[in-house]
Amino acid sequence: MKPPLGEASLRDLALHYAARFATTGARLEGYLVRKVRERGLAEDGEGRTIDIDIPALVARLVELGYVDDDAYARMRARDLGARGYGARRVEETLRHAGVGEGLRQAHAPGEAASRRAAALMARKRRLGPYGAGAQEGGDALTRRKAHEKAVAAMLRAGHQYEHVRFVLGAASPEDIEEWLGEAAGDEGIEDQW
């Protein structure tokens, strides 16, 4: 069994965690609270339990730049978009990590990035016009079930229903490329993430 935690050992755990993982202040604080719960706190020379201010320790690491919620949010949003996840999934992931609402909104994907993520997911999973003749073969019931499954998968991945409907209903990959170009032109920027 590991010994109870003192101030120095808790600080060392926090530094080790921050060095190993990209994290947020809220996640680091949760980790430290869990470690204190598991191992307990050390006692001083007079037998009293040491009181450690975990939020102050986390605030100090944020102040020193070891923990940066903004950098974490930017990295996670870009990573999830590059993997084909939609804006809702990005927001949920950042909220779960303890990123504040202002940062979540600042790193939310724009229209062009949301469309690119939807198209990327369809291409990776071979959905809609990227599928291998799924629209043509089989009976109507099989096609309908496949379509419903594709819609459900894209919605679970956090895409807007309008984007899902367009991507899955597109006649060809060229239609999707044109749709992507419209959004990039409207935003006036090539990459929101």
What region does 188 belong to: left with phi over 0, alpha with psi -120 to 50, or beta?
left
Least confident of 60-64, 112-116, 135-139: 135-139
Q: Tokens 């043509």 — which residue?
A: 136
Helical H runs in 40-139? 54-64, 69-82, 87-96, 101-106, 111-125
Least confident of 77-81, 83-87, 166-170, 188-192: 188-192
C-alpha to C-alpha distance for 14 and 176, rounded to whole angstroms: 46
What pLDDT was estimated at residue 136?
Answer: 60
What pLDDT was estimated at residue 41?
Answer: 87
Least confident of 95-99, 104-108, 138-142, 160-164: 138-142
Q: Where are the domains of the chain?
A: 7-67, 70-187
Least confident of 66-80, 91-105, 133-147: 133-147
pLDDT digits (tens, 9 = 90+) for 6-42: 899 999 999 999 999 999 999 999 999 999 999 988 8
* Average confidence score pLDDT of the chain: 90
Can you give the pTM of this predicted structure?
Answer: 0.83
What pLDDT was estimated at residue 148?
Answer: 95
What pLDDT was estimated at residue 190?
Answer: 44
Q: Cα dihedral angle (13, 30, 58, 109), rounded to 10 degrees?
A: 120
